[in-house]
Amino acid sequence: MNPISLAELTSIRQEATAAVCDQTCQIFRSTVPVTDAYSSPTNKNYGLLSTTVAGMSQPSANQLANYNFKIGSLAAWHVRLPNSTDVEEQDRLVIAGETLEVQVLLTPQSYSIFTGVIASEIKS
């Protein structure tokens, strides 16, 4: 027997999303990578994948330590998206005029409420 029903979990997810995800978020994904003569990526073309809502906070010290190999000295954010949002590493998120690149997908766990990612700021 499950400790929580699907209906209860769905209700909790909806309430948490309404409470935490207070900003509009556009998710962009690379459509066709552009490569040079040696098949090395030179730049990417991004297309709008979806528009959703998001909540942002500073990543914890443990998250920064665990993912230091990917984040390094980049300005990073812990971004929470509604559960089951289609997002991948290297996707770009535009939130409140800031462009972020997804560095790490925080693997969902049993009864997860959000889809979590660590994303770094991209300065133009």
Q: Which of 61-70, 75-84, 89-98 shows the lowest mean pLDDT across its residues?
A: 61-70
Confidence at residue 27, expressed as pLDDT on a 0 to 100 scale: 97
Condensed to tens digits (0 to 9), the pLDDT of residues 20-51 reads 999 999 999 988 766 667 766 667 788 899 99
pTM: 0.85
* Domain limits, the chain: 6-121
Helix H segments across 24-122? Answer: 61-66, 68-71
Considering the four listed CATH numbers 3.30.428.10, 3.10.28.10, 3.90.480.20, 2.40.10.270, the one that applies to the domain covering 6-121 is: 2.40.10.270
pLDDT greater than 70 at residue 111 = yes
Confidence at residue 50, expressed as pLDDT on a 0 to 100 scale: 95
Confidence at residue 70, expressed as pLDDT on a 0 to 100 scale: 87
| Beta pairing partners, 56 | 79
Q: Which pairs from 104-109 meet CB under 8 Å and 24+ separation?
A: 104/67, 104/70, 104/71, 106/63, 106/78, 108/83
Residues in the chain, how many?
A: 124
